[in-house]
Amino acid sequence: MINIFFYSAIAAPPLVTDDAAVVPEGGWEYIASVSGESRAAVDSTELPAMELSYGIADSMQVTAAVARQVEEPRAGDSRSGWGYAGLGYKWRFVGDDSAALAIAPAYTFPVNRSSRIRGLIEDIRVLSLPLIGTIARGRWEFSAQASFDITSDDANGIGYGLAAGYAATDSLTLLAEIYGEEFSGDQTIVSGQKVDDGITNWRAGLAWEFQPSFSLLAAWGGNIQSNLPPEDKLDYEYFLGLQYNTP
């Protein structure tokens, strides 16, 4: 099941919309998290999920991510197994911390054959090609993302996101976003249903640096619009994670 439009294992926790920031050269970023979605037909959870990024140059980073998938259908037994993994690269090719543009191609693929056979995940691969822009003004930071997403079953789409962050204190940032996907192609299938239009969701969250180099990431969200059947429409989604950056 593709739970959030065209599934990408790599995003910008706790949001889906990425920003143009990169891990400093030689630095590491570790994120361990649990996230999930609730729909009328099924609850789906990623537990655990791990994301690892490394700064390979002053303005470049590479990222790897993997997650274990757990599903609890309303009718039927729960099932679990390894879900999707992702490999990504981000290059901030223009600007600095105050205003920047970046590209962040990512490739997402299923990890486990057994999970595919049991229908826990779909046998689909996704190449995402996003362009990201970020502007910082005082305590505010705004990011926008547009992505061309190519899948292995011809179900392509245009992803988008608009995000804002406000530094309420030196250690606490409040976050919000609107993100979604416009679908194209004759085989566009989401949650087992053909989709002709698009999906738009929202999230609100926070990033709290409670200790130097350690941050708590949290978010809650829901659906704004979707033409999925009622049993497949998103009721709510959540994210809870711990981030560590090497000093």
Query: Per the structure, how many domains does the chain have?
Result: 1
| Mean pLDDT score, 203-225 | 97
- DSSP classification of residue 15: B
Residue 6 in any domain: the answer is no
Asked whether residue 23 is domain-assigned, the answer is: no
C-alpha distance from residue 25 to each of 13, 33, 54, 88 (Å): 20, 24, 8, 16
What average pLDDT does this structure show over 198-214? 95
Quick check: is 168 in a domain?
Answer: yes
pLDDT value of position 196? 55
> Phi/psi at 112 (nearest 5 deg)?
-120, 130
Instruction: Label residue 23 by pLDDT band (50, 70, 90).
Output: very high
Domain range for residue 94?
28-245
* Contact criterion met (CB below 8 Å) for 87 and 106: yes
The average pLDDT across 101-106 equals: 96
Select from 10, 16, 6 the least CA-distant residue to 156: 6
pLDDT score of 8: 56
Residues 37-55: what's their mean pLDDT?
Answer: 94
Look at 110 and 197; give whichever has higher pLDDT. 110
pTM of the model as a whole = 0.90
For position 118, what pLDDT does the model report?
Answer: 82
pLDDT of residue 6: 45
**Could you give phi then psi for residue 4, rounded to 5 degrees?**
-125, 100
pLDDT grade for 139, boundaries at 50, 70 and 90: very high
Q: CATH number of the domain at 109, please.
A: 2.40.160.40
Instruction: Please give the pLDDT value at position 117.
Output: 81
Report if residue 21 sits inside a domain.
no
pLDDT at 33 over 70: yes
Closest-CA residue to 84 (of 71, 68, 96): 68
Q: Average of pLDDT values for 147-166?
A: 90
pLDDT beyond 60 at 194: no
Give a yes or no: residue 45 inside a domain.
Answer: yes
Quote the pLDDT of residue 9. Answer: 56
231: closest CA among 192, 202, 188, 180?
192
